[in-house]
Structure 1
Amino acid sequence: MEGRHRHARPASADDLLSQLGQLTARVREEVEVQRARVELAEALQRGMLPSTLPTAPGLRVAARYAPARNGLDIGGDWYDGFLLSDGTLSFSVGDVQGHDVEAAAYMGQVRIALRAVAAMGSTDPGEILHTANELLAAIDNPLFATCVFLRFDPRTWSVHTARAGHTGAVWARADGVCGVIDHTAEEIGLPLAVLEGQTYTVTEYRFTQPGALALLTDGVVEGPRFPLEQGLDQVAQVLREGVHEDPEVLADRVMEVAEQTGHTDDAAVLVLSYDGPEACQTDRAAPGVV
């Protein structure tokens, strides 16, 4: 006697519609959860960025932050600026490895660490990065951050910078010369919180005439359409062509470079526009905050 075989009943249109409805509801729920995480990360990010930046006679400052183009990679980039104990001004830009809420929260820890070290009296960018690295490396957190820290002295119009695995500052002068404040590979140093005992070499740059300088994250200058070096060249040209522009305008134009790269990361830029020492030699008021 031949065995009887049961055949699965073909799914009816109602069954298929029911399954499709369940899948759609699940996808919608996952999208809503992801959207909520993105909105929370962006709110944390913007809430942690400074509402004011320091300035001095003849020096104007502007900053921009933009979330990732795809709306997912949010939370890692920052900019900051504050007065140091000796009357000089500090500015920093950095990028936390990773994204989303965790990166946004860690970004806040990095900024607090840098400010805390400076509040203890440190003014040397290399020493500030070194001590902040020791503090962050001691925290049980798998994340790390790249950073460029700049100290501007309004009395001598000199800039000292140190880098922790980060992109160099881009500059342009009124005479049309432009470039990147560069370090050798040995001088750049590892990102913050990777390894204890790191030292960070300081490079000096002196403002001798009107110009502009930009600190930025790699989301501004690197993407699928062209590499980092080309992006830095683009920013240098933007600064050179707009060296006499208001820094707010320059910051917007630098952020436009990020759109040209086709980047998927978030992006931050901080622009210093300066008149030069001779233009301000009769105005030596103390630095302030706007």
Structure 2
Amino acid sequence: MAHNPWLQQGRGQARDGVAARPPQRALDRYQLRHLLDGVVAVSVNLDTRTVLQRIVEAATDLLGARYGALGVLSESGQVTDLITVGIDDPQLCAALGLPQGHGLLHTMLDDREPLRVAEVDEDPRSAGFPSGHPVMRTLMGVPLMVRGTLYGDLYVADKMDGTPFDDDDEGLLTALASAAGVSLENARLYERLKRAAEHFQRRMLPVIPDLAPLEAAARYEPASELLRLGGDWYDAMVLPDGATCVVVGDVTGHDVEAAPLMGQIRSMLRAVALDRCGPPGLVVSRLDHALMMFEDPPTATLVFGRIERGRGEGEGYTFGWSNAGHPPPLLVGADGSTRYLAPARHGIPVGIDASVPRFSHEHPFPPGNTLLLFTDGLVERRDQDIDTGLSDLAEQAARLARAPLEDLCDALISRSPKVFDDDVAVLALRTPPGRLDTVTDTPPAC
């Protein structure tokens, strides 16, 4: 946000040897520029809480006020939230509580008109300040409207230069409040659309069935930005030959169209896997050929795997998989050891070229071990290399090697920041205690 050094220092002061107050002829242009700065500041974000904070900051900067506040109203007219500038002590803000809806502010909301008071303590409508509240001498406020509905009140107090608020100030605050109402409506529409898109994405993800004797858990966390939401998925099912089929994937590109594409690819992969109980590379190759039916084939990265039990009584499990351009699975031993299953030969994303061979790989899946399949949103950050994210994930998973799978998934999701750059899908599976037998490698299938 652009700040106004002239207003911050006071109109009667000088800055760097130059008169602080600009010539009167330039004042309108000066105020207009800072009004536009304020409008831009409240319009660049689509998170409602951030927009509210920006509005108050823009108002105090624009008018050179010491204090600013925005009260948010419920449908019944009660103040449900208060965003402030100038009162920096959070304990004081908590102690003061929310305004009670009477006095000067109550008058402004009832009239739905701008309010300007030169001496607060002398105004007969004033109800005074609660104990501990900073004493404010002058006050100006405007109602904040969103699509014709009273949303709250925006007010500022005590200009830095000690002068009362004037007509120009009222015009600036009214103009800012009008622009703020548009920004708030945009933020509400954005959040409503984001919730709908997230709900649609979640409805398309399966409920993990009972895979006993294997344990399983899964999590999905949407991206924080709407345009990056959608396209990650997980799936698991028992195949006709008794093997457990698992997959985690990520549709290329993230927008409101990604979720339907994810649904198409997931359904096609399920159909191919159920029809052809073959090596993972063969299944992924058949998916490639199926995607070629589209005029513009959707593309995705994925890991498709089969968990198979040994043929003899008491024998262990084997994890067979094919990787199509996706982050490698992580195998976590019961003793806390970790290993990324990342053979040299891996494939390109599906939907690009069906003639490229697919490879099948196998690795023992020992008793009590945990297998983690995940999408890149769990390990990628805009400000760090993916290898750092992979290393951090392995370290945390090692510490939770014996934790219940539900707790493990929760912990892995919570290790990420509150703002997710990308969707996150996690599928965790664990083998029961038992005997492990040696498993041989399988040649590539295409």
Q: Output aligned runs, 1:28-43, within 5 Å.
A: 28-43=184-199
| Counterpart secondary structure, 1:45 | helix
**Aligned residues of 2:291 and 2:298 also touching (Cα < 8 A):** no
Question: CA offsets per residue over residues 169-205 of structure 1, 9 Å max, x none?
Answer: 0012123431100022xx2211111223232211111
Correspondence 1:254 to 2:412: yes
How big is the shift at 1:163?
0.8
- Secondary structure at the residue paired with 1:196? coil
Aligned residues: 267
Q: Are residue 210 (structure 1) and residue 394 (structure 2) matched?
A: no
Q: What is the Cα deviation at residue 276 of structure 1?
A: 4.1
Matched, 1:175 2:335: yes
1:272 matched to which residue of 2? 429
1 or 2 for the larger relative contact order (CA 8 Å, sep ≥6)?
1
Aligned to 2:208: 52
Distance in 2, Cα, partners of 1:54 & 1:145: 27
Quote the residue 2:350 is aligned against. 192
Partner of 1:282: none
Q: Counterpart of 2:202 in structure 1: which amino acid?
A: R
Shift of 1:239: 2.6
Structure 2: how far apart are the matches of 1:112 and 1:273? 25
Q: Distance in 2 between matches of 1:142 and 1:109?
A: 11
Q: How does 1:1-290 map to 2 (within 5 A)?
A: 23-24=179-180, 26-57=182-213, 59-70=214-225, 72-141=227-296, 143-155=298-310, 156-184=316-344, 187-259=345-417, 263-278=420-435
- How many Å separate the matches in 1 of 2:189 and 2:224? 19
User: Which one-letter code corresponds to 1:162 in the other structure?
Assistant: S
Q: Which structure 1 segments of 5+ residues have no match?
A: 1-8, 280-290
SS at match of 1:258: coil
Contact 1:94 1:147 in 2 (8 A): yes
> Secondary structure of the residue that 2:220 maps to in structure 1?
strand
Deviation at 1:38, TM superposition (A): 1.6
In structure 2, list runs of 5 or more residues that go unmatched.
1-27, 33-166, 311-315, 437-446
Structure of higher CA gyration radius? 2
TM-score of the pair, normalised by structure 1: 0.81
Report the CA distance between 1:16 and its aligned residue. Answer: 6.7
Q: Which amino acid aligns with 1:166?
A: H
Deviation at 1:88, TM superposition (A): 0.4
CA contact (8 A) 2:241 2:277 kept: no
Deviations 1:125-178 (A, max 9, x none): 111111112222331346421101111013350000111110000012123431
Query: What is aligned with 1:285?
Result: none
Q: Is the 8 A contact 2:208 2:216 kept in 1?
A: no
**Conserved 8 A contact 2:299-2:349:** yes
